[in-house]
Structure 1
Amino acid sequence: MDLNLKDKVVIVSGGAKGIGEGIVKVLANEGAIPVIIGRNIADANKVVDNMLGAGYQSFAVQAELSSPEECKKSIQAVVDKFGKIDGLVNNAGVNDGVNLEHGSYEKFMASLHKNLVHYYLLAHECLPYLKKSSGNIVNIGSKTAETGQGGTSAYAAANGGRNALTREWAVELLKYNIRVNAVIVAECYTPMYENWIKSLENPEEKLKEITNTIPLENRMTTAEEIANMVAFLLSEVSSHTTGQLIHVDGGYTHLDRALNKTQ
């Protein structure tokens, strides 16, 4: 199926690693021009160089996403380079463990800026160009907003905000034919996830315990599987889909956890 993404300029925040890198690779393979925006320009340039070396197009812009000024400058840099923006994938963020019992106002607010506020800032700066292209927005979210996780109040709150903004923007932008959807992630194996697993006392045992609770095939979701859904939602193939929170999680969020005992 041709997703008709050739030469579409798509911004991917946090596209240098993990799920973001997976999204960049899939978009490039579909003929789009993924633009990575994030803090670590060295990591971003490595991904871009790999894409260019494989014959694809890609670009990177450095920005501290918690800064409104840098968000604005980064979008202007993309427009200066390509003259347009066809899509935005809000992906950057970190599950930083700011909890209720031992957290603080300062830590909570800083986490919201790292995990939610820049979703708004980038969308706000992209909007004039998305109106011209009738482009699309895809927000990456986490199951923590629905299931809770324990010990991560700020991240859970941020993801609740991502879900709400997805629905709100879908309504507000109907008049511009801009579709807005979210892909909700549960257990996806990324370098960051691997580092967390390795920090535990019995990492292999803990990983097995987690995968046993994932109903479909008892395995982690891959970054490529998340990316495939993102590409679909950015494309014309999903032309009547908006305001949706789509879980790519092997049934983890909604199916009965007792299933792992009966399979």
Structure 2
Amino acid sequence: MNLSLNQKVILISGGAKGIGAAVAKGLIEEGGIPVIIDPSGEEARQIIDFANNQALHLPIRLIRAADASRAVEETLKKFGRIDGIVNNAGSNDGVGLENGNPEAFENSVSKNLFHYYHLAHYSLPALKNSQGSIVNISSKTAVTGQGGTSGYVAAKGAQLALTREWAAELLPYQIRVNAVIPAEVYTPMYENWIQSFPNPEEKLEEINRKIPLGKRMTHADEIAAMVLFLLSSKSSHITGQHLFVDGGYTHLDRAL
């Protein structure tokens, strides 16, 4: 399917690894131009090579509002337009109620949430011009809970709320806002988590058995396919939606 993303400039936070990298590569295959906002240099260079330099790497870690402002400014300086945002960067850092403290909780929410707002805020004038699209990557933990990760889950739940809020606010500008909710996706970050268990292979098999469709994890490029669809004109009447790409993990009986 031609998604009509040719020459579309899309900001992707955390775009050098995992889901973000899959989105960037999928966008390149559609003829689009990813702006990879990610401090990971080697991984980003591989994507730039894949794109034959029709991409931009901004080695910025989005911590403060000024970081997002600089990313937007540099993108507009090079390309003169922004057609979409994929808010993706973040990490499940395990800051819980028992195993955390107020300062750690605040830091966890900040690093997983605030840059979603910052990037959308500074991109808004350009998105109004392009009637662009915003896709927020959330997590099934916002819906199911997980235990031991209050900061991350609070941020992920807020991302879903902001998806609906921004969709409502931006209706007059024809800017669509949607969220994609993965469950179990085997990314480098996920690999690090699996390896923290005494028997990683056994833990991985246990998780796979709980995924209804195919008893396997979702692939990063399957998440990317939904993201690219939501960025494209093929989804021109879809906004304010939370779309689960998880093999039925969240909503189907896991005992099936």
Where on the TM-score scale, by shorter chain, does this alignment land: which range? over 0.9
Aligned to 1:5: 5
* Amino acid across the alignment from 2:21: E
> Secondary structure in 1 aligned to 2:138?
strand
Paired residue total:
256
Aligned to 2:91: 94
Aligned to 1:82: 79
Taking the TM superposition and a 5 Å limit, the aligned residue runs for 1:212-223 are 212-223=209-220
Aligned to 1:205: 202
Aligned to 1:138: 135
Indicate yes or no: 2:169 matched with 1:172: yes
Structure 1: segments with no counterpart, 5+ residues: none
* Amino acid across the alignment from 1:17: K
Indicate yes or no: 2:67 matched with 1:70: yes
Aligned to 1:39: 39
The one of 209, 226, 229 equivalent to 1:229 is: 226
Q: Distance in 1 between matches of 2:49 and 2:31?
A: 16
Identity of aligned residues (%): 60
**What is the TM-score when the length of structure 1 is the normalising length?**
0.95
RMSD: 1.0
Indicate yes or no: 2:59 matched with 1:58: no
Q: Which moved more, 1:105-114 or 1:2-11?
A: 105-114
Q: Distance in 2 between matches of 1:6 and 1:209?
A: 41
Residues 138 and 233, structure 1, Cα contact 8 Å, conserved in 2 = yes
**What is the TM-score when the length of structure 2 is the normalising length?**
0.98
Aligned-residue offset at 1:31: 0.6
Residues 145 and 160, structure 1, Cα contact 8 Å, conserved in 2 = yes
Aligned-residue offset at 1:75: 0.6
> Secondary structure in 2 aligned to 1:142?
coil
Structure 2: segments with no counterpart, 5+ residues: none
Q: Distance in 2 between matches of 1:33 and 1:45?
A: 14
Q: Distance in 2 between matches of 1:51 and 1:4?
A: 17
Aligned to 2:103: 106
Aligned to 1:243: 240
